[in-house]
Structure 1
Amino acid sequence: MRKLEDFENPRIVPLHDELFGASFFLMKLLPARFMLERAVENGLLKPGATICESLSGSFGLALAMLAVQYRYKLILVSDWTIDQRLHRRLVQLGANVEIVEKPAAAGGFQQARLDRIAIYLEEISDSYWPAQYSNPDNPISYSKFAEQLIDRVGKVDCLVGPVGSGGSMCGTCSYLRVLFPELYAIGVDAPNSVLFGQPSGRVNHLSGLGGDIIPANVDHTQFDEIHWMIPAETFRATHRLHREHGLFMGPTSGAAYGVANWWSRRNPGKTVVAIFPDEGNRYVETVYDHQWLTTVPEWSGTPAEEPSPITTPTEDLTRWSSFSWNRRTLSEVLSEAKSGGDVFR
């Protein structure tokens, strides 16, 4: 499975001073190909078999591209939040895209998609579920990316990236810390996402950030700091990345850039790498459309120059916010929040 391997590798782009962007065409090609290769090696994925997966944006697109090249059938389960341009492209690639209509009682649409996948796996013989949220091959695949950063940048003092399945940030951090144990890791999430303790609510899925359930691949102890970016701030940072550096990227990349740029300027002399997961083509009619942006709450407001520190991740967040996570488990952080302990120890 080497035909798409060249598209997995990011461009390492100097942005300013010691700030670099790892700019991917489609980052999820890296774990998707690796996971399928391992499944073939272990006899879990047979020629011509059906792959079933919950569609969470770019990972589904990566699977669709690989399924075409290697002649697998593909079923993707999504919900009403799916981007219509992405939906059309997946169908054109031959994927069967099913839309679930109602959220699960616990876990929302994310759990409802997984419940439907379980039915497909039972009904279709020799079907295979990559299970990106819990498959350990997801974070393992990013050892290749970590090696590239070391070769191109050298010592990395701070890594900043969006958190979804947990694979990219947790996997890359764990490998970089073999050489750089003091690496400072900043995860970027969205308000109302349960990944880092926010109360469950309606997550703005367009940005590609956040989730209704906590994937097994999210290792909270990898993170030193967490930032939550509201949509308006995410989109402003995305436009700034394009305008000032010529990088036409998606909003997850913009969120990572906004946080990394702020941290880099506060910590001169430190080498910072921001992960930019995908390009902006899927967002031409939304994030890059000025008429659409006028419908985004706070878009016309005053841009935030820096995050607001919070004392507990359970707060109601209405702007860009940050929290000192200090490489603790989620239960440790939430226990301290409940007891009113010193979360900044």
Structure 2
Amino acid sequence: MDQHIAESLARPALIRLDDRLLCLRFETMKVVSALAAVRHLLDTGAVRRGDTLLDSSSGIYAHALALACHRHGMRCHIVGSTTVDDTLRTQLTLLGATLEQMEPCSDLKLDQKRRVQRIHQILAEHPEYHWMRQYHDGIHYLGYRTVADLIRRETGADGLTVVGGVGSGASTGALARYLRRATGATRAPHRGADVELVGVQPYGSVTFGAEHVHDPEIIIAGIGSSIPFGNVAHELYDTLHWISFDAALAGSVDLLRRHAVFAGLSAGAGYLAARHERDRSLERTVLFIAADTGHRYAETVHAQHHRATCLSDLAPREVHDQSQLALPWSRMCWNRAPADPLVTG
């Protein structure tokens, strides 16, 4: 029996959509990494119960960290994006978290930079606070070990392609790392599983060099970044898909209509990429990540179903380097290349 709701939320549903397409569906995915990270900090003595944990978030991680702090008796301070909505604000308040939300801003790059600047100001005023650094600290990989174990038990992992938003790198990167590092019952290492990793990015994200391509709608929160992230292990990724807001909307709508899975915009982008990868590799099983439910996107995405493009009319443009990127959808083989030092700083 779970001792806290966060423990239940950390367990995803693994859903078979067809013979070779699987959906790993979370109610709120980052609870997995936040719970494990806070537990690790307590176990190692880096923090103590009652301490304040601080971080920046566009939404999902704020909720996850607030839940983890509630579970472990910690204080929580969030510097939130302009995208944090009324429902989340109310939940954070009742969970005892402090939320500082940035002023409205149409430029999400500026919003992200302002949040980081505010974090540094708070730390200067409160050096006793612990900055979780979800974008840079490797402890956020830890929680995905149990998720990888679930996937391995259910699929065997060999011949598996994992598709998901890159974001901070923790979810997709951690799953690939743990799945490739397959272990037996004695935990002794043996041959790693054949697992390919496909990352999904929005246009405008600097992580894999697409900052020069502007999506007139929005940079999809949670799967891209306007600043370099230290947690992204570029060498883990085999393939990349850059997907526009409109294409991701079409994926989200089709995912609900065809499979009854009500999930967020990043799930729609992942679903679109996963269908393509399934169709081009007939011997592989493809699993994509649905990081959250569709409630935050009901009005801006699902209610716009009348303007969704039919998926059969969408196909990625195959590119060989980032200079060829173009909306609405581009695909490039990354081949587990290391990061460009100009991108990572």
Superposition TM-score tier, normalisation by shorter sequence: 0.7 to 0.9
Q: Mark the runs of 5 or more structure 2 residues left unpaired by the alignment.
A: 183-191
Deviation at 1:219, TM superposition (A): 0.6
RMSD (CA atoms): 2.6
Cα distance in 2, alignment partners of residues 147 and 242 from structure 1: 27
State the TM-score, normalizing by the size of structure 1. 0.86
Matched, 1:167 2:166: no
Deviates more, 1:71-80 or 1:252-261: 71-80
Cα distance in 2, alignment partners of residues 34 and 314 from structure 1: 39
The answer to whether the 8 A contact 1:161-1:187 is kept is yes
The answer to whether the 8 A contact 2:123-2:129 is kept is yes
CA deviation vs aligned residue, 1:101-152 (integer Å, no higher than 9, x gap): 499x9x6332321221122123225311111111111123211111110011
Matched, 1:244 2:253: no
1:333–1:115 distance in 2 versus 1, CA, 3 Å: closer
Matched, 1:186 2:186: no
CA deviation vs aligned residue, 1:273-293 (integer Å, no higher than 9, x gap): 111111112222222223xx6
Matched, 1:330 2:342: no
The answer to whether the 8 A contact 1:81-1:206 is kept is no
Other-structure match for 1:114: 116
Other-structure match for 2:186: none
CA deviation vs aligned residue, 1:62-109 (integer Å, no higher than 9, x gap): 112223343432221123233343334323433222133499x9x633
Give 1:311's aligned amino acid: H
Deviation at 1:316, TM superposition (A): 4.9
Q: Mark the runs of 5 or more structure 1 residues left unpaired by the alignment.
A: 335-345
Deviation at 1:205, TM superposition (A): 4.1
Give 1:217's aligned amino acid: N
Cα distance in 1, alignment partners of residues 206 and 240 from structure 2: 13
Task: Summarize the alignment of residues 56-205 of structure 1 with structure 2, pairs less than 5 Å apart.
Answer: 56-101=58-103, 108-124=110-126, 126-156=128-158, 157-179=160-182, 180-199=192-211, 204-205=218-219
SS class of match (1:150): helix
Other-structure match for 2:187: none
Give 1:313's aligned amino acid: Q
The alignment of Structure 1 onto Structure 2 pairs a total of residues equal to: 327
Deviates more, 1:41-50 or 1:8-17: 41-50
1:164–1:97 distance in 2 versus 1, CA, 3 Å: same
Aligned sequence identity (%): 28
Give 2:163's aligned amino acid: V
Other-structure match for 1:312: 321
Task: Summarize the alignment of residues 255-274 of structure 1 with structure 2, pairs less than 5 Å apart.
Answer: 255-274=269-288
The answer to whether the 8 A contact 1:46-1:126 is kept is no
1:119–1:177 distance in 2 versus 1, CA, 3 Å: same
Deviates more, 1:265-274 or 1:164-173: 265-274
SS class of match (1:227): strand
The answer to whether the 8 A contact 1:109-1:212 is kept is no
